[in-house]
């Protein structure tokens, strides 16, 4: 039965069409992105209109639906991700049951070493330092707005207890301004709460969006991007990205931090930053809070996209693991919790002076307590990753528990 359901969901999601809407003044293209050699789905690939500021992202099954303003039917849709050659396809040529295959291509490490030698031994550490030095040139030096979709998934032990989805606008100052963006909470799509452990009642949960935007390594100037402070760097290879290439650099700060950096070979911009921290026997990095929560794992991903010569955030993920004790002095574990928060940017506004924005989010209150009534018309054409079968099951379970 599960196989039949999976096949049905796949066929429905895969259906690719081009459809107009006089009410929303948009049309949509959809499909599935696959690896040409293995036919495996490609998750989190960028799907965007060439030279435009709008886009979306494929989900973990490689599926996507992209809502495009009417009048862009002749525009080229670009599909790209690090490690694959990009594909360009005109919007009005998408057909029924369309599959889009990307070809993986890597540059041999010997070629990297040879290139580095020609550049006077451009080592991995030297690449990172050059990228760090070029931050001022590569990232926005004027205010801007990003629109995007936030997904917050909470799990306790093996049970999911919360699923939240919302649309927001983020008003950023130039990258040199070390402040978190102002936030407009636009709409809340999904807000399902299951029964949480009683411990949560004494610990006010932090706002999901604030949890994300405070971890901006480039803006707040920390981590492996600086090329110093005990980090060791190793050049693994060169990968295709868009119409260019990126260096892939593995970093380690013993004993508990690792990082992977993807740096554009021409502009030396950080294209993607991955940072992981793991506690070792509850020592070194482990964070024990006064409420009894002990953080033992932290994973941060920041990926950027180029628009008009500057790098803007495209995707962010923060994933943690916590062991929960009764209080700071207790040694008995009550349960474990696994929060996961993601931000998918779908629109860039590089000249925000006349763009509508209203700071309305209360940073001291959880998102679910600021939600308006569900707005179906808004979500019909808002660009978000397509819901996966796994996510549908999580929502169904939470819905059943809340009834």
Q: How confident is the model at residue 285 (pLDDT cuts 50, 70, 90)?
A: confident
Residue 255 φ/ψ, nearest 5 degrees: -100, -5
Strands (E), 115-269: 144-156, 159-172, 182-193, 232-241, 244-253, 257-264
Task: Give the pLDDT of residue 16.
Answer: 38
Average pLDDT over residues 95-110: 76
Q: How far apart are CA 224 and CA 34, in angstroms?
A: 32
Average pLDDT over residues 31-49: 95
Q: How confident is the model at residue 253 (pLDDT cuts 50, 70, 90)?
A: very high
Residue 106 has pLDDT above 80, yes or no: no
Mean pLDDT rounded to a whole number for the chain: 87
pTM here is 0.89
SS3 content of the chain, % helix, strand, coil (to 5): 20, 45, 35
Least confident of 68-72, 307-311, 380-384: 68-72
Contact between 352 and 144 under an 8 Å Cβ cutoff? The reply is yes
Task: Give the pLDDT of residue 11.
Answer: 38
Q: How confident is the model at residue 115 (pLDDT cuts 50, 70, 90)?
A: low
Strand partners, 47: 56, 79
Least confident of 14-18, 225-229, 241-245, 315-319: 14-18
How many CB atoms sit inside 10 A of residue 31's CB? Answer: 27
- Residue 228 CB burial class (10 angstroms; 0-12, 13-18, ≥19): exposed
Task: Give the pLDDT of residue 337.
Answer: 95
Average pLDDT over residues 371-385: 91
Q: What is the set of domains in the chain, with CATH numbers?
A: 2-102 (2.60.40.1120), 138-372 (no CATH)
Average pLDDT over residues 93-110: 78
Of 215, 309, 263, the closest CA to residue 82 belongs to: 263
Residue 113 has pLDDT above 80, yes or no: no
Task: Give the pLDDT of residue 265.
Answer: 95
Strand partners, 54: 347
Q: How far apart are CA 58 and CA 239, in angstroms?
A: 20
């Amino acid at each position: 039965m599960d196989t039949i359901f999976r096949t049905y969901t796949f066929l429905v999601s895969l259906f690719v069409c081009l459809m107009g809407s006089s009410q929303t003044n948009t049309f949509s293209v959809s499909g599935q992105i696959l690896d040409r050699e293995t036919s495996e789905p490609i998750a989190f690939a960028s799907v965007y209109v060439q030279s435009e500021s709008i886009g979306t992202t494929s989900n973990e099954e490689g599926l996507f639906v992209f809502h495009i303003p009417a009048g862009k039917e002749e525009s080229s849709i670009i599909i790209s991700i690090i490690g694959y050659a990009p594909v360009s396809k005109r919007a009005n040529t998408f057909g029924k049951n369309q599959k889009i295959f990307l070809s993986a291509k890597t540059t041999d490490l010997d070629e990297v070493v040879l290139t580095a030698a020609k550049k006077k031994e451009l080592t991995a550490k030297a690449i990172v330092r050059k990228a760090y030095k070029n931050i001022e040139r590569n990232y926005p030096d004027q205010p801007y707005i990003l629109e995007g979709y936030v997904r917050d998934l909470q799990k306790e032990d093996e049970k999911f207890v919360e699923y939240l989805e919302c649309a927001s606008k983020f008003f950023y100052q130039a990258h040199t301004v070390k402040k978190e963006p102002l936030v407009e909470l636009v709409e809340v799509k999904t807000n399902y709460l299951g029964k949480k452990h009683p411990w949560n009642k004494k610990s006010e949960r932090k706002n999901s969006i604030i949890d994300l935007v405070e971890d901006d390594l480039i803006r707040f100037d920390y981590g492996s991007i600086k090329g110093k402070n005990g980090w060791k760097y190793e050049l693994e290879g060169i990968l295709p990205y868009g119409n260019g290439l990126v260096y892939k650099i593995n970093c380690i700060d013993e004993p508990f931090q690792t990082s992977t950096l993807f740096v554009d070979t021409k502009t030396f911009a950080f294209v993607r930053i991955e940072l992981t921290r793991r506690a070792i026997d509850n020592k070194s990095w482990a964070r024990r809070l006064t409420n009894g929560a002990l953080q033992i794992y932290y994973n941060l991903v920041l990926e950027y996209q180029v628009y008009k010569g500057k790098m803007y955030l495209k995707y962010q993920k923060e994933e943690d693991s916590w062991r929960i004790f009764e209080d700071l002095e207790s040694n008995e574990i009550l349960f474990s919790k696994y929060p996961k928060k993601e931000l998918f940017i779908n629109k860039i506004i590089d000249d925000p002076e006349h763009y509508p924005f209203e700071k309305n989010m209360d940073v001291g209150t959880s998102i679910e307590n600021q939600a308006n009534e569900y707005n179906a018309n808004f979500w019909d054409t808002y660009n978000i990753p397509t819901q996966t079968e796994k996510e549908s099951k999580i929502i169904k379970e939470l819905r059943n528990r809340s009834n």
